[in-house]
Structure 1
Amino acid sequence: MDSSGDPADLITAPRPCGWVRSGERWDLWWNGRCVATIVPHASAGVRLWLETSTTVQAKVVAAANARQARRYAERWCAVRLCPQLRLRAAVARLLQPAPDAGGPPKPALTRVQRQQARRLAQAGAGEMGRIKQALALRTSTQARPRPMF
């Protein structure tokens, strides 16, 4: 039996976000669903399907190339999905990775890297102590009244 349809795999698989390419097709994913799809078209260059929860029907648009279609889709979907934000902020939110996705896991630090990090932290703590002492000394000398002669 094929294990790709296993519900446990679906739960642990990262949710797509932003633009995802599969072959000739581009899909814009947001909040776990596809809101825009770009596919090549014989006469129009590319065809763009736009669909959000706020629209009743999907909108189909022709574009000269995939780059133009992506820019149009980002702005069209951002305005409808995040109406409370300005356009630039809405597009940024639409394209940012989901908080639970987080990207690939970071590899563990090696022993040498841990030693370097510890030494750097110790040196930084020593420098901060010297800076605080110098600032305290400076403020204490400024608080005393100067002689007037």
Structure 2
Amino acid sequence: MEIRPTTDEDFEVFVATVHTAFGQFPETPVADGGRWWSALEMDRGLLAVAPDGKPVGTAAAYSFELTLPGGKPVPAAGVTAVGVVPSHRRRGVLSAMMRHQLAEVRERGEFLSVLLASEARIYGRFGYGPATS
């Protein structure tokens, strides 16, 4: 399994893989406004690629600042588009992507990483926990 950064050339493959992982039908990402896709930072995306060259997982992050108590803004990573296609789940793909992503977050000087998760229990093993209720 290879975890590699994405480039602008990977955009369509990334989008198709995200849709497969989430069980959604792909639409044209930038049609009708497509603000979410147009804001995607492809240099912060990851693709998990199986030995046969098939993309099987995705993860991405948005760059932003989060204001901490006391009013100090700090750089943070907003984790998004984390998914593994059904045929490759429970094989360590998610763990490999999260380790890779968290290492990149640290290298960028971001000591905070945040996400909204549909399956929140999964992310505790990577150091995530509830910040609000």
More RCO (CA 8 Å, sep 6+): 2
TM-score bin (small chain): under 0.3
Relative to the length of structure 1, the TM-score reads: 0.24
**Structure whose alpha-carbon radius of gyration is higher:** 1
Judging by fraction of residues, say which structure has more helix: 1
